[in-house]
Structure 1
């Protein structure tokens, strides 16, 4: 980190249970030259990757559905969330990590992975950067047992792209990374037409 307008004063670990929550106290030089002391909490869970599997022949996509407790406590009555396959990097490079996650969560073994962009999903409080990928699949793509590792219960959903887009409009798909990847696919198809 090298920003001449920021001087770190201290970092305190507030929680190190599931991931790490830190309170960071720092001095920040405003545009008018005045230095202010500020503090913020930042949740560090590591970086992650997400992927949208697309069958160009059928124009279908593979999504997952699983219980997400934070959405439940924020009003999602079932707690179930429809998402693109995703996971933490766990010290792997992003492409290797998403290849592993794709097989664990969906069962599909994909080889033609394409990185499309990177994004911070909640930069006001979470340090995580996500790496976004796409890959093609077909009826002949090798498939192994999917559905998550033992502690995860993941449903694998295959649906037409048009249905996934309708589910966004109707509020059935509300996950940010998933919406971004589906819209990216739509833009790619529009540009190719």
Structure 2
């Protein structure tokens, strides 16, 4: 693609040069980028990239991959260990609904795109908008590519304490952006049980709740002299 919206003409979001992503990448000598095409540029961007790939046996072959670029995001699990509670959300997710979820209403940890912010700033913004809560000190848990076969997004995972005094508003998201988010304050034991009986099926939320149970604020505390499981 040599011209058009998003290339040399601003698209509806004022963007140009969207066909340049990935061109010039040389970090992996087994990959040579040949061409990048825009196949769709709605709010986010779908690209088709053609590249040469050297297989493990030394042979080169030409491959094509489509990638969906929606930017990077952040997610957080707010917890209150004194009361044994966590804050989650429930909202309608059409992709899950069309792919077999009974009603599309997913229980999730609060999350959002970084936009122009760093991950910590972004997740504090999202927590205020979605949960109506002011977070305490953030713990960076991990970073993960949630669907690396097709989606470029890297997700930054956090956990943070909160108390009833940190509730600043009702939450619910930004109505102008189509958000209609229900805030759920649940006993941690209930939330963890929901990960095993099918009531929580969102990947990022599963990761954070299991981390909280195994290594985080709700992990068993060892008494002096006790050995961790498996002799670790």
TM-score by length of 2: 0.81
- Counterpart in 2 of 1:138? 163
Structure 1 segments (4+ residues) deviating >6 Å: none
**Bigger relative contact order, structure 1 or 2, given CA contacts below 8 A and separation 6+?**
1
Corresponding residue SS for 2:122: helix
1:31-110 equivalences under 5 Å are 31-110=56-135
Are residues 1:29 and 2:40 paired? no
CA drift of 1:165 comes to: 1.3
- Counterpart in 2 of 1:179? 206
Q: Distance in 2 between matches of 1:144 and 1:168?
A: 28
Q: Distance in 1 between matches of 2:157 and 2:100?
A: 27
Corresponding residue SS for 2:209: helix
CA drift of 1:143 comes to: 1.7
Preserved contact between residue 136 and residue 162 of structure 2 (Cα < 8 Å): no
Unaligned runs of 5+ in 2: 1-24, 223-232
CA drift of 1:173 comes to: 0.2
Unaligned runs of 5+ in 1: none
1:158-173 equivalences under 5 Å are 158-173=185-200
Corresponding residue SS for 1:31: coil
Preserved contact between residue 49 and residue 65 of structure 2 (Cα < 8 Å): yes
Preserved contact between residue 109 and residue 144 of structure 1 (Cα < 8 Å): no
Bigger radius of gyration among the two: 2
Cα deviation per residue 1:22-77 (whole Å; 9 max; x = unaligned)? 11110001111111100011100000000000001011110000011100100112
Q: Distance in 1 between matches of 2:75 and 2:160?
A: 11
- Counterpart in 1 of 2:152? 127
State the aligned residue count: 193
Q: Distance in 2 between matches of 1:192 and 1:39?
A: 50
Corresponding residue SS for 1:192: coil
Corresponding residue SS for 1:112: coil
2:219 to 187, 190, 193: 190
CA drift of 1:19 comes to: 1.1
Q: Indicate the RMSD between aligned Cα atoms, in angstroms.
A: 1.1
